[in-house]
Structure 1
Amino acid sequence: MILIRPATPADVATILGFVRDLAAFEREPDAVTATAPMLAEALFGASPAAEAVIAEREGEPVGFALFFHNFSTWTGRRGVYLEDLYVTPAARGAGVGTALLRHLAGIAVDRGCARFEWSVLDWNADAIAFYRAMGAVGQEEWTVQRVSGAALHRLAAR
């Protein structure tokens, strides 16, 4: 049986480990600069930036999802944005990813959100097929734009 529960401060090290595993899977093993104190503050500090849930099987963490609210001016309502979803290799194919997505969809519905969305790497055909089977529709006409690092500082220069 798969249990999905809200993350607690005691889960921060597990979450960071899953984030590092996800980065390695996504071919960016050295890209994670987050630390346990940073995640603890972001998830459980005075003004949380995000929320996380842990998937457990037989009492052991086997995956997680980290999400936050966004907002649609077109609908006038919040949405749920899934930042990260990770399932350990040993637990893949056992319904953990499905349970996590269903749980987050339930949060979106319970909170009156207009939509639930996320990004996926274009080369991750298995994930894309899984998401399509769950009812997700690719937004092919939209592309993600990002400014970070030195470019962010240059853009912010006044």
Structure 2
Amino acid sequence: MIRTATPDDIPVLHLLIRELAEYEKAPDEARATQEQLREALFGDRPAAYAHVAEEGGEVVGFALWFLNFSTWRGVHGIYLEDLYVRPEARGGGHGKALLTELARICVARGYERLEWSVLNWNRPAIDFYEALGARPQDEWTVYRLTDGALADLGKQG
């Protein structure tokens, strides 16, 4: 079962994010607090949205996403920040169901893109996404400013 996350899901979402960081070999990079998640998802001006996958009344996976905008197409799209299903629940259709829900939202709202990033070494995820018809955008390279480099640039001008 897929449903929209509620404020009561914050503790399990936080735990699943930590599990995802462990899986992606970057546990120290997942610094978000439960309070930050609550504000981002359910504050006065939500910046992100989440859906959860349940099995037997237990949350076993989630998709956290936000809106992006295509200047070329002139409409919003969804950027999937994180998709995670606990290892013991993989193969049960939860990941596909979460992506199907996001695709349904795109179609219903007239959004023309559903995009995400995947680590190059994550072959199981790449195979899963490609089996759904997703294609890599390999002509683009993602760049990121964080920490000191972001602060340094922000101080200029």
TM range (shorter): over 0.9
After TM superposition, the score normalised by the length of structure 2 is 0.98
CA distance in 1, matches of 2:47, 2:12: 18
1:75: Cα distance to partner? 0.2
1:51: Cα distance to partner? 0.2
**Match of 2:124, as an amino acid?**
D
**Match of 1:102, as an amino acid?**
T
Query: CA-to-partner distance for each residue in 1:6-44, whole Å, 9 max, x for gaps?
Result: 000000011010000000000001111100001000000
Corresponding position of 2:134: 136
Corresponding position of 2:90: 92
Corresponding position of 2:21: 23
CA distance in 2, matches of 1:114, 1:102: 14
Corresponding position of 1:126: 124
Query: CA-to-partner distance for each residue in 1:107-152, whole Å, 9 max, x for gaps?
Result: 1111110110100000001100100000101000001110011100
Corresponding position of 2:147: 149
Q: Is structure 2 residue 107 aligned with structure 1 residue 109?
A: yes
5+ long unaligned stretches in structure 1: none
**Match of 1:150, as an amino acid?**
G
CA distance in 2, matches of 1:61, 1:85: 13
**Match of 2:79, as an amino acid?**
Y
CA distance in 2, matches of 1:12, 1:76: 33
**Match of 2:50, as an amino acid?**
A
1:58: Cα distance to partner? 1.3
**Match of 2:136, as an amino acid?**
G
Which residue of 31, 34, 37 corresponds with 2:35? Answer: 37
Corresponding position of 1:54: 52
Kindly report structure 1 stretches of 4+ aligned residues shifted beyond 4 Å. Answer: none
5+ long unaligned stretches in structure 2: none
**Match of 1:51, as an amino acid?**
Y
Q: Secondary structure at the match of 1:136?
A: coil
Which residue of 8, 11, 17 corresponds with 2:9? Answer: 11
CA distance in 1, matches of 2:119, 2:110: 28
